[in-house]
Structure 1
Amino acid sequence: MTRARDGARKRAATAQGLANTHSGTEIRVTTADDYMTRDQVAARWKLSPKTLSNWHHLGKGPRCFRLANGRYRYRTADVLAYEEHLLESA
């Protein structure tokens, strides 16, 4: 019975994007859909990608990170949180 419950719990966690490591801690499993390119964010907000680049260097806008190939990615959750912040402050 316990194994069946553990199996069901693991399947539910995997469906939520969580996975267990061998140490028992949970880590978030991400997919490519969890991230947006600078061009995607710029198109969403009808801005130039250069504007987002300038914002990044000024410390404005949503958080982003640089990949080894020099391209930037934005977590979709950060983009949505930034939009929410703008709506609340307006």
Structure 2
Amino acid sequence: MNDSSRSRDKMTVDELCAELQVSRSTFYDWRQKGRAPRCVKLPNGSLRIRRSDLENWLTDCEGSA
């Protein structure tokens, strides 16, 4: 796997919010309540979300709808 495909595998919070059409505050509210997709915290404090974790989270949301 090359660097560009590896970086596309991980989304920023802004990218996730844009894709789900939710505000950053909604995402952080979900995160505080333990309802957000699993995140990776980088050494600089930034968060990334693996696309596979987002897909699994969305599948789980469908099951509970």
Residue 54 in structure 1 maps to residue 15 in structure 2: no
Cα drift, residue 72 of structure 1: 0.5
1:26-57 deviations in Å (ceiling 9; x for gaps)? xxxx7101111101111111101121112212
Aligned with 1:73: secondary structure? strand
CA distance in 1, matches of 2:23, 2:44: 21
Aligned with 2:43: secondary structure? coil
Identity of matched residues, %: 32
Higher-RCO chain (CA-CA 8 Å, sequence separation at least 6): 2
Q: How does 1:40-79 map to 2 (within 5 A)?
A: 40-79=15-54
Q: Please, what TM-score do these two structures have when normalized by structure 2?
A: 0.82
Higher Cα Rg, which structure: 1
Structure 2 unmatched runs, 5+ = none
